[in-house]
A and B are shown apart, each in its own frame.
Chain A
Amino acid sequence: EAGVAQSPRYKIIEKRQSVAFWCNPISGHATLYWYQQILGQGPKLLIQFQNNGVVDDSQLPKDRFSAERLKGVDSTLKIQPAKLEDSAVYLCATQGAVVTGELFFGEGSRLTVL
């Protein structure tokens, strides 16, 4: 079974530029999450999708971050404009339709904002 795929793995941009990250979930997984992991900290939830609907985006900085999940499969996370404090690893995780509790994480996209 293929895992969660994310791209790009690494991205370096200057502040005020924009960036987009892509996530392809495990086939059939209805729930998709985007987490932000700042160096030395635990993952922090940004947004949760159930199929193509948003369940929780309470911690998403909506003035600069946006996310969508078209057709309930792939998802993109966009940052525009980026700030220095956005430097982090952005992790995508998915969960199957039968809720066991386990999250399956991708390898993450490491963003450096200069």
Chain B
Amino acid sequence: GENVEQHPSTLSVQEGDSAVIKCTYSDSASNYFPWYKQELGKGPQLIIDIRSNVGEKKDQRIAVTLNKTAKHFSLHITETQPEDSAVYFCAAKGQGAQKLVFGQGTRLTINP
């Protein structure tokens, strides 16, 4: 089955700097790669996703890149703000009813 590895487990950056979180996946048939943000005491919330037919997707300060050959994808947050502090999870899913498999999470702290 699919296996998703995520790193780093913790990341601390200065406000205004950029943050990058990386994930690798094992199943070359996976074709959907979402990123979820989880704030304390809440459930994960989708912030951006990418499908295997594109290499990059942007939404304001957030971007995701996908390298299918290397089987890795990354989340990029620019101009970080205090409200970006949270735990971020990557995930991967195959076609059809394949389940969504999550990475272990990255705790991002934005220092003022």
Q: Is A102's beta carbon under 8 Å from chain B? A: yes
* Known contacts A41-B104, A41-B105, A44-B102; A107 and B43 CB within 8 A of each other: yes
* Known contacts A55-B97, A56-B97, A101-B49; A43 and B44 CB within 8 A of each other: yes
Picked from B36, B46, B99, B102, the residue with its CB within 8 Å of the CB of A48 is B99
Residue contact A93 to B43, C-beta cutoff 8 Å: yes
B42 to chain A, nearest CB (A): 5
How many chain B residues touch A (CB < 8 A): the figure is: 23
Residues of A within 8 A of B102 (CB): 42-44
Q: How far is the CA of A105 from the CA of B45 in the complex (A)?
A: 7
Interface residues of B, dominant DSSP = strand
Residue contact A42 to B105, C-beta cutoff 8 Å: yes
How many chain A residues touch B (CB < 8 A): the figure is: 19
Residue contact A91 to B43, C-beta cutoff 8 Å: yes
Q: How far is the CA of A48 from the CA of B97 in the complex (A)?
A: 10
Give residues 74-97 of B contacting A (CB, 8 Å): 89, 91, 93, 97
Residues of B within 8 A of A106 (CB): 43
Residues on B facing A (Cβ under 8 Å): 4, 6, 32, 34, 36, 41-46, 49, 89, 91, 93, 97, 99-105
Residues on A facing B (Cβ under 8 Å): 4, 40-45, 48, 55-56, 91, 93, 101-103, 105-108
